[in-house]
Structure 1
Amino acid sequence: MKKRVLSIGLLTMAMAVASCSNNDDSNSADPNDALFAASLTDITNDVITVTYEDLNTKATALKGAINTLAATPNEANLQAVRTAWSATRAPWEESEGFLYGPVDTGGIDPAMDTWPVDVSAMNAILNSSQAITASLIAANNEARGFHLIEFLVWGENGNKTADQLTPRQLQYLQAAATDLQNNTQTLYDGWKVSGGNYGSNFINAGTTSNIYPSKKAALEEIIEGLITIADEVGNGKIEDPLNSEGGTPNAQFEESRFSNNSKLDFANNMRSIQNIYLGDFGGNDGAGITDIIAHHNQTLDTEVKAKITAAINAIEAIPGTFSDAIYNNRPAVSNAQAKVAELQLLLEGMKQYVNIL
């Protein structure tokens, strides 16, 4: 019922905007066209493409750190790998608000981020006599990518030491890092102008785009991506370990539990929403969805920004590790989940609002 009331309220505001627009000269250009064009261009160039560029740069650094560890397996080099993994993980989680385009059509999301790790498949490769190469592990999504690397460098309980890494495990890490960076390179190449230039489908929506017949259709795709990641965090990434079986917590369902990176993952997923909404990433300050919403309804724009911030703050306020909190600080976890749900609900209403503009 609450969702219905909010949606009707947003639709009422949108209809008022549409009514005012209908009083204008019917031959005039769409007053939203310039706003839509600026937002689509800046989101494409200043958020999505540069996020993938940052991801690829950090994946390259991770590959280098793993090569150094393989050559000299000591605690300092192991810690450097862990630091590089976490640094690479951040832009990946900040990209999960836009899992469309090459990341989807090329099957790159499951290739990089399938959870849980298939330890049996990994061990079968480790125990074989095969040379461990990137192409070999690429045949099994459950034994490659972020979480395979995470498992090998932290261990099941998060306390692995450098001297516990076998030569075959170090070879596996090198192959996995190469495979991961191959995929981040493919993502960046797919979006950049000198590569596949997928972003042109958004920038040229309604004109020469083969995917989006209108700018509004492209914006709806972008907003749907934000709704999708909010739903995944609240109803999947948090819900599954918090209430795995009728309210019973189970840390086995927690993503990034080996590294205790889960809370940061979830917060960065919310930042993915924030970056797209504001049109900002890594110092770039472009036009975003906020420019469209604020132009028509500053109250709604303020509310969306506040809900994003509240979701991030609630996730970061969960005490200790997420693994511990689902057992010992369940109210804090539930509060974070509720804040994400509130954001998702508002984004769903905002999508309807934009559709009627």
Structure 2
Amino acid sequence: MKNNFFKMACVGFATLSFVACSDNDDSTGTDPQNATLQEVVSNTSNNVIIATYNDLNQKAIALTSVINQLATTPNAANLQAAKEAWVAARAPWEQTEGFLYGPVDSEGIDPAMDTWPVDVEAMNNILNSSNAITVQTIENNNEARGFHLIEFLLWGEAGNKTAQQLTVRQLELLKAAATDLQNNTQKLYNGWIASGGNFVNNFLNPSPEVYPSYTAVLEEITEGLIIIADEVANGKIEDPLNPESSTPKPELEESRFSNNSKLDFADNMRSIQNIYLGKYGTNGNGKGLTTLIAAKNPALDTKIKNAVTAAINAINAIPGTFTEAIYSNKNAVKDAQQKVRDLQTILQAELKPFVVNNLQ
């Protein structure tokens, strides 16, 4: 998630903080401990990360198809179908945010898909011009592109847009934006798989040039979990809640037009859960970080799993919409925020040092 008001920390440590491997480096795969590391990295890469990107791409294809139907026949049923397809595609995207490294970062795909808030002025400039609206029209403007542009057009500022209110130009922009979004989900998937950009090879076959060991890969994976916990607690919840003032800032709320914010935040926590448990839906064999931590520190493993569950439950327990809650149920919002911060602290202060110092 690229938030204009919340800047994510850069995750470049893997290429900066490790040197060439010794003869006993854990990337050789010759001892039982390293074999387990390799299995965890393989399962996490193929059955969680790539599986999530594949699901995202398939749902983006479905979203494009439904929006094309809406553009052809703009009625209430097709608008509702488009909204449902947007929500369906949104879930796997939010569940990728625990691993914002690789092509999503290096190729600038995150801001191309998910910058918020939407630049309404830039959108209106496109709509009010006499130029044809194509994919190329929006490719150079990340602030009026991706999930939240589509969301704004489907739901409207107040969240109650009707099919009759969709103009011809808005429908053209919706089609272009949906195609652009799916182009980027395809890039993400292709960038990881062996037959495409093959970023997965950097994880599966560590080398001094990128990740010198499986431990370095696992440190990158762990850092990704810390980053999304930090962003949810200290950006996605913090910014609209605006605790330093008595006045919330709903305009800074992610997915506020669709009232999908709580689902977004919970899916970000599920992203952490998926990576940690080594599963995505029916994909994955359960060989995740949990396998390695439980073997050496079962108390920490239980603590992490409980903290993830507590964060998800607290987000789900926020009454009503998030927009309503930042005004009328601030304590519930703050409780959810604290649960996410608690998780972040455990990941930062306990999991990461354990990975660095004990998974050699």
Query: For each residue in 1:126-178, what CA deviation from the matched residue of structure 2 results, as whole angstroms up to 9, or x when unmatched?
Result: 11111100111011000110000000000000000000000000000000000
What residue number does 2:338 align with? 338
What residue number does 2:214 align with? 215
Runs of 4+ in 1 over 6 A off after TM superposition: none
Structure 1 residue 284, shift from structure 2 partner:
1.5
What residue number does 1:178 align with? 179
Structure 1 residue 246, shift from structure 2 partner:
3.1
Tell me how far apart the structure 1 counterparts of residues 33 and 331 of structure 2 sit (CA, whole Å).
Answer: 43
Structure 1 residue 33, shift from structure 2 partner:
0.8
Alignment RMSD (CA, Å): 1.3
What residue number does 2:235 align with? 236
Is the 1:276–1:288 contact (alpha carbons within 8 Å) kept by the matching residues of 2?
yes
Tell me how far apart the structure 1 counterparts of residues 120 and 332 of structure 2 sit (CA, whole Å).
Answer: 32
Tell me how far apart the structure 2 counterparts of residues 209 and 271 of structure 1 sit (CA, whole Å).
Answer: 32
Tell me how far apart the structure 2 counterparts of residues 146 and 182 of structure 1 sit (CA, whole Å).
Answer: 13
What residue number does 1:256 align with? 255
Tell me how far apart the structure 2 counterparts of residues 48 and 235 of structure 1 sit (CA, whole Å).
Answer: 25
User: Helix, strand or coil: the match of 2:271?
Assistant: helix
Is the 1:201–1:209 contact (alpha carbons within 8 Å) kept by the matching residues of 2?
no
Tell me how far apart the structure 2 counterparts of residues 356 and 152 of structure 1 sit (CA, whole Å).
Answer: 49
Tell me how far apart the structure 1 counterparts of residues 86 and 219 of structure 2 sit (CA, whole Å).
Answer: 33
Tell me how far apart the structure 2 counterparts of residues 138 and 96 of structure 1 sit (CA, whole Å).
Answer: 22
Is the 1:201–1:210 contact (alpha carbons within 8 Å) kept by the matching residues of 2?
no
Tell me how far apart the structure 2 counterparts of residues 266 and 84 of structure 1 sit (CA, whole Å).
Answer: 19
In structure 2, what residue type is equivalent to 1:49? I
Structure 1 residue 324, shift from structure 2 partner:
0.2
Tell me how far apart the structure 2 counterparts of residues 322 and 259 of structure 1 sit (CA, whole Å).
Answer: 11
Tell me how far apart the structure 1 counterparts of residues 201 and 170 of structure 2 sit (CA, whole Å).
Answer: 41
In structure 1, what residue type is equivalent to 2:180? D
Pair 354,31 (structure 1): closer, same or farther in 2 beyond 3 Å: farther
**Unaligned regions of 5+ residues in structure 2, if any?**
1-28
User: Helix, strand or coil: the match of 1:32?
Assistant: helix
Structure 1 residue 52, shift from structure 2 partner:
0.4
Taking the TM superposition and a 5 Å limit, the aligned residue runs for 1:41-120 are 41-120=42-121
Query: For each residue in 1:93-121, what CA deviation from the matched residue of structure 2 results, as whole angstroms up to 9, or x when unmatched?
Result: 00000000000011000000000101111
Tell me how far apart the structure 1 counterparts of residues 31 and 256 of structure 2 sit (CA, whole Å).
Answer: 49
What residue number does 1:138 align with? 139
The answer to whether structure 1 residue 318 and structure 2 residue 287 are counterparts is: no
Tell me how far apart the structure 2 counterparts of residues 88 and 211 of structure 1 sit (CA, whole Å).
Answer: 31
Structure 1 residue 197, shift from structure 2 partner:
1.4
- Indicate the larger mover: 262-271 or 194-203: 194-203
- Give the share of equivalent positions with the same residue, in percent: 65
Is the 1:200–1:209 contact (alpha carbons within 8 Å) kept by the matching residues of 2?
no
User: Helix, strand or coil: the match of 2:101?
Assistant: coil
Structure 1 residue 203, shift from structure 2 partner:
1.0
Tell me how far apart the structure 1 counterparts of residues 148 and 356 of structure 2 sit (CA, whole Å).
Answer: 38
Tell me how far apart the structure 1 counterparts of residues 78 and 208 of structure 2 sit (CA, whole Å).
Answer: 47
What residue number does 1:16 align with? none
Tell me how far apart the structure 1 counterparts of residues 329 and 75 of structure 2 sit (CA, whole Å).
Answer: 36
Query: For each residue in 1:226-269, what CA deviation from the matched residue of structure 2 results, as whole angstroms up to 9, or x when unmatched?
Result: 00000000000001111164353111110100000000000000
Tell me how far apart the structure 2 counterparts of residues 129 and 245 of structure 1 sit (CA, whole Å).
Answer: 44
What is the TM-score when the length of structure 2 is the normalising length?
0.89
User: Helix, strand or coil: the match of 1:291?
Assistant: helix
Structure 1 residue 192, shift from structure 2 partner:
1.3
Structure 1 residue 353, shift from structure 2 partner:
1.1
Tell me how far apart the structure 2 counterparts of residues 141 and 305 of structure 1 sit (CA, whole Å).
Answer: 36
The answer to whether structure 1 residue 301 and structure 2 residue 306 are counterparts is: no
Larger Rg: 1
Query: For each residue in 1:288-329, what CA deviation from the matched residue of structure 2 results, as whole angstroms up to 9, or x when unmatched?
Result: 000000010111111110000000000001000000000100
Structure 1 residue 285, shift from structure 2 partner:
3.0
Count of aligned residue pairs for this structure pair: 328
**Unaligned regions of 5+ residues in structure 1, if any?**
1-27
- Indicate the larger mover: 178-187 or 241-250: 241-250
Is the 1:244–1:250 contact (alpha carbons within 8 Å) kept by the matching residues of 2?
no
What is the TM-score when the length of structure 1 is the normalising length?
0.90
Structure 1 residue 209, shift from structure 2 partner:
6.7
Tell me how far apart the structure 1 counterparts of residues 326 and 111 of structure 2 sit (CA, whole Å).
Answer: 26
Pair 123,245 (structure 1): closer, same or farther in 2 beyond 3 Å: farther
What residue number does 1:8 align with? none
